[in-house]
Amino acid sequence: MKIEVSADKRTVQGKGASRRLRGSGKVPGIIYGGDDAPQSIEMDHNDMYYKLKMEAFHASILTLNVSGKKEQALLRDVQMHPYKQLVLHVDFQRVDPKKKIHMKVPLHFINAEVAPGVKTSGGIVSHVLTEVDVTCLPKDLPEFITVDLIDLAAGHTLHLSDITVPDNVEITALVKGDDQAIAAITIPRSVLASESAAEGGEAEGEAAAED
């Protein structure tokens, strides 16, 4: 998904200027990195607020159009108001197409409902991780990584080494030798209790039959 953000250069600095900017429906930000100097920018608040709700906006190479000059960038930090639906500040980092980047990518879980641990054992999928840090060139950055749970049985755990990633993409933790757990299927106590009660009833029935 290609996402473009329109912005204007911001020349006035300071808390007072930022408050006035927000009062006019704008949100302050900055773009930094690469060979160019950091540039303060301002964007439409409502447009930014709704873009931030998009999962892909947080894990994609963005096109930042600053006063007509387009640059490739990553979203690096967002400051939100503690209780108002208000974006206070946004940080972007320029992207060098020839240099690898580190980026958190969301995990999309599929086939949970037909996994043996759920379908036949009545288990519940527990998501240990919902995103993972990857290393790759900007052109290879995936919007998400699919995790297939179709073979996961009750009491078993899926690890980073069990998932398939796109070509030229590395999971940073695995490179460091840390094979973290991603998901597991556990059996709820209520199901275990029901099974125990059923087994007890069968045992009593067999004993009565023998008598």
Burial class (CB in 10 A: 0-12, 13-18, 19+), 80: middle
Which neighbouring-strand residues pair with 186?
124
Percent of the residues in the chain that have a pLDDT greater than 90, as a whole number:
73
**119: Cβ–Cβ under 8 A, 6 or more apart, which residues?**
113
**pLDDT tens digits for range 76-124:** 999 999 999 999 999 999 999 999 999 999 999 999 999 999 988 889 9
Angle (CA) 77-78-82 rounded to 5° is 140
**pLDDT tens digits for range 173-203:** 999 999 999 999 988 866 555 555 455 445 4
Q: For residue 72, is pLDDT > 70? A: yes
Percent of the residues in the chain that have a pLDDT greater than 70, as a whole number:
86
Q: For residue 142, is pLDDT > 70? A: yes
Burial class (CB in 10 A: 0-12, 13-18, 19+), 210: exposed
Q: For residue 204, is pLDDT > 70? A: no
**pLDDT tens digits for range 11-27:** 766 676 677 777 788 99
